[in-house]
Amino acid sequence: MIAFLVKSVVVEFVTVGGRTGTYLAIAVYLLVAIFASYLGARVGAKMRILPVPLAAAVGSALAKVVDTSVIVDGRIVEIVESGFLEGTLVVPRFVLRELQAIADSSDPLKRTRGRRGLEVLGRLQELSAIEIGERDYDEMPPGSVDAKLVRFAREIGARLLTNDYNLNRVAHLEGVAVLNVNELASAVRAVVLPGEELRATVIKEGKEPHQGIAYLDDGTMIVVEHGRHLLGESVSVIVTSVLQTVAGRMIFARPKKE
């Protein structure tokens, strides 16, 4: 509309010598139209009035739709700050509603998790790493957040960022690429081989009468054979074997001075 008005002014005031005035008006119209369209798209994205975020519409390959589990988990902030996660994080409006419902729950544990998730969103917003997706699916039941997430990610061609195992499987079946923070954490853990020496503090008893339990800084559990009598002590242990399970990695070790 702005470009049309500018063209009308140019045609009115340019002295026409042959067709020069007409060509100039068309050129001005095209330039103003391109600039005004770009400016309108930028303003629309900033005002959150587009049905799909601008970043997702323009560079959907880099956009990631964020699940509630990732927000509550909180590690996403450190990943964004490290610079290893490119693109825009898109948080759909129905995820915000679910997070608010958790924060308002009568269950103290759920309420704490929900408030933590809201704090994580605030930190992500300070990093300018998130966009709010306004699209919703009123025809779907209110509680079907997982189905909405998969549909939303598929429609805008984005990846789904989640820690939920079942949602991960469903998304794969629907042809939606998934990024799992738990899988990332497992992939970057330091490799431990049998025979290596570690330093660990035995903090509790194991299932067997002679076992003690310790943990590495990344949360990996160490089962210390003949370590029950070492409770509360920081000792050097020798790795005897490493077991990879569905729940994560488990290290078996024995005290260096048994």
Q: Is 216 helix (H, G, I), strand (E, B) or coil?
A: coil
Q: Is 187 helix (H, G, I), strand (E, B) or coil?
A: helix
Average pLDDT of each block of 10 consecutive residues along the chain (258 residues)? 76 57 75 84 62 45 84 88 83 88 88 90 83 79 81 88 87 88 76 84 86 82 86 87 74 82
What pLDDT does residue 42 have? 76
Instruction: Check: CB of residue 6 under 8 Å from CB of residue 29.
Output: yes
Residue linked to tokens 């005002």: 47
What pLDDT does residue 54 have? 44
What pLDDT does residue 133 have? 84
Q: Is 250 helix (H, G, I), strand (E, B) or coil?
A: strand
What separation in angstroms does the CA of 32 have from each of 11, 37, 41, 67? 15, 8, 14, 40
What is the rounded end-to-end Cα distance, in angstroms, of the chain?
Answer: 84
